[in-house]
């Protein structure tokens, strides 16, 4: 779908931003360009829609050398999302999204109706449509930026650090939304980020660039973590890559221990020994863990909130080894709570059992 063939970009001052890049990006894939500041990620991405032309080599889209395609025609099929959303401050949200389709000849009424549907699709309440950009939070503006880029229904979406200016909680929401959207839309997405964790979470392919605009590795996230091509890549993907690799292994082989959760009404009847814990459900959902001290507190009149220690993360059946391990390690009882997709508790997992599965997998790979 998108190919770079021996592409080099040298700026007039002599800076080589991209050095002999060869890369093929498959149709419908989510590719992340990752690397330290100044390694040529943005330059590489902008050569796809001809915002920048290469000094030598060829960039092709759908088999056509982009240098032979009119930039306006080319960009019609390529959406572009930037860090600050880049919305027009004096236009209402709905018109920010509808502008390009109107320029392309869609009636204003139709374009506005489509825009409202797109706002919903990116997780925004349509009641925001008549606001101006400054009346939205950074995360909401970023969602509008994505809706606007999708408005012309482009086959390709270029995203340049789209989520780096928002706080970590909003960023995670936006990343999850992006995963959901891509599951529905299957666009060819090229996504520039500094953040290897973001790339591992979102992308099916990651290109790691280093200084001087050199591509060091182009691989699946799993292979990048398991087999970094060189010291630069292993340094960049980080020291805890072994732990992060767990997110690619299924947790379904981890043995579950039975849990006998109780409700608040059962707390007073418990007779717990030292370091014994019971899971307490509120409204049928895991609420927290109670030990002998908690039982005493409850008998003395404390509410369920003050008698229980907060539970850790939940391991949803079908999840990864990383999620299973996290559930076990974050639980005060050492037993991670396992739930089915409907949220019903089905058992517990211990860190030792997760480690046992990891060890067996490691030996079977050797
Ligand atoms: N117009 C320009 N003129 C000269 N040098 C430039 C120009 N644009 C970018 N560069 C240089 O080219 C190199 C690559 O820049 P580019 O913006 O592609 O990197 P990047 O990896 O996207 O960086 P960042 O993550 O900081 O945005 C840098 O050394 C940069 O200073």
The interface predicted TM-score (ipTM) is 0.92
Tokens of 6: 């021996």
| Position 233 pLDDT exceeds 60 | yes
Protein residue closest via CA to atom 4 of ligand 1: 11
What separation in angstroms does the CA of 346 have from each of 247, 262, 291, 320, 339?
Answer: 21, 13, 21, 16, 5
The mean pLDDT of 327-335, rounded to a whole number, is 93
Task: Report whether 29 contacts 188 (CB < 8 A).
Answer: yes
Protein residue closest via CA to atom 22 of ligand 1: 42
The mean pLDDT of 150-157, rounded to a whole number, is 89
Bridge partners of 338, per DSSP, are 315, 347
Q: How far is CA 67 from the centre of its chain?
A: 33
- C-alpha–C-alpha distance, residues 192 and 209, integer Å: 11
**Nearest to 48, CA basis, from 164, 191, 149:** 191
Measured in angstroms, how far is the CA atom of residue 70 from the centroid of ligand 1?
25
Query: Which of 13, 21, 33, 43 to mutate to test ligand 1, by most ligand atoms within 8 A of the CB atom?
Result: 43
The reply to whether ligand 1 has any atom less than 6 angstroms from the CB of 17 is yes
Query: Which of 9, 42, 53 to mutate to test ligand 1, by most ligand atoms within 8 A of the CB atom?
Result: 42
The pLDDT score that the predictor gives to residue 366 is 54
The reply to whether ligand 1 has any atom less than 6 angstroms from the CB of 43 is yes
Confidence at 271, pLDDT banded by 50, 70, 90: very high
Q: Please give the backbone phi and psi of residue 216, each rounded to the nearest 5 degrees, phi first.
A: -95, -35
The pLDDT score that the predictor gives to residue 23 is 96
Confidence at 69, pLDDT banded by 50, 70, 90: very high
Confidence at 294, pLDDT banded by 50, 70, 90: very high
pTM metric for this prediction: 0.79
Handedness of CA 334, 335, 339, 343 (dihedral sign): negative
| Position 82 pLDDT exceeds 90 | no
Max mean pLDDT range (94-98, 119-123, 234-238): 94-98
The reply to whether ligand 1 has any atom less than 6 angstroms from the CB of 14 is no
The reply to whether ligand 1 has any atom less than 6 angstroms from the CB of 127 is no
């Amino acid at each position: 779908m998108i190919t770079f063939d021996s592409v080099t970009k040298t700026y007039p001052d002599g800076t080589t931003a991209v050095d002999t890049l060869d890369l093929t990006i498959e149709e419908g894939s989510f590719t992340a360009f990752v690397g330290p500041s100044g390694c040529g990620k943005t330059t590489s991405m902008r050569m796809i829609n001809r915002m920048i032309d290469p000094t030598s080599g060829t960039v092709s889209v759908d088999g056509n050398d982009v240098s032979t395609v009119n930039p306006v025609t080319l960009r019609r099929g390529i959406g572009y999302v930037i860090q600050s959303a880049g919305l027009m401050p004096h236009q209402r949200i709905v018109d920010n999204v509808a502008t390009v389709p109107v320029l392309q000849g869609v009636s204003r009424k139709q374009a506005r109706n489509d825009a409202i549907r797109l706002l919903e699709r990116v997780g925004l309440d349509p009641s925001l449509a008549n606001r101006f950009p400054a009346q939205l939070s950074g995360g909401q503006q970023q969602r509008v930026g994505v809706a606007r880029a999708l408005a012309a229904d482009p086959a390709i979406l270029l995203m340049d650090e789209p989520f780096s200016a928002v706080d970590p909680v909003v960023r995670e929401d936006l990343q999850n939304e992006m995963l959901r959207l891509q599951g529905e839309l299957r666009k060819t997405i090229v996504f520039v980020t500094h953040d290897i964790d973001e790339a591992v979470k979102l992308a099916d392919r990651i290109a790691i660039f280093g200084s001087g605009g050199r591509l060091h590795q182009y691989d699946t996230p799993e292979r990048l973590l398991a087999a970094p091509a060189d010291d630069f890549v292993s340094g960049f993907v980080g020291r805890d890559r072994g732990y992060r690799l767990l997110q690619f292994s299924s947790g379904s082989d981890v043995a579950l221990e039975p849990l006998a959760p109780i409700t608040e009404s059962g707390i007073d009847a418990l007779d717990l020994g030292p370091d014994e814990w019971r899971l307490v459900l509120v409204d049928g959902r895991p609420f927290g863990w109670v030990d002998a001290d908690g039982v005493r507190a409850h008998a003395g009149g404390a509410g369920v909130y003050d008698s229980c220690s907060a539970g850790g993360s939940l391991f949803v059946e079908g999840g990864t080894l990383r999620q299973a391990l996290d559930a076990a390690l974050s639980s005060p009882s050492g037993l991670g709570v396992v739930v089915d997709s409907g949220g019903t508790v089905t058992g517990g997992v211990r860190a030792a059992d997760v480690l046992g599965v990891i060890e067996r997998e490691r030996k079977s790979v050797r």
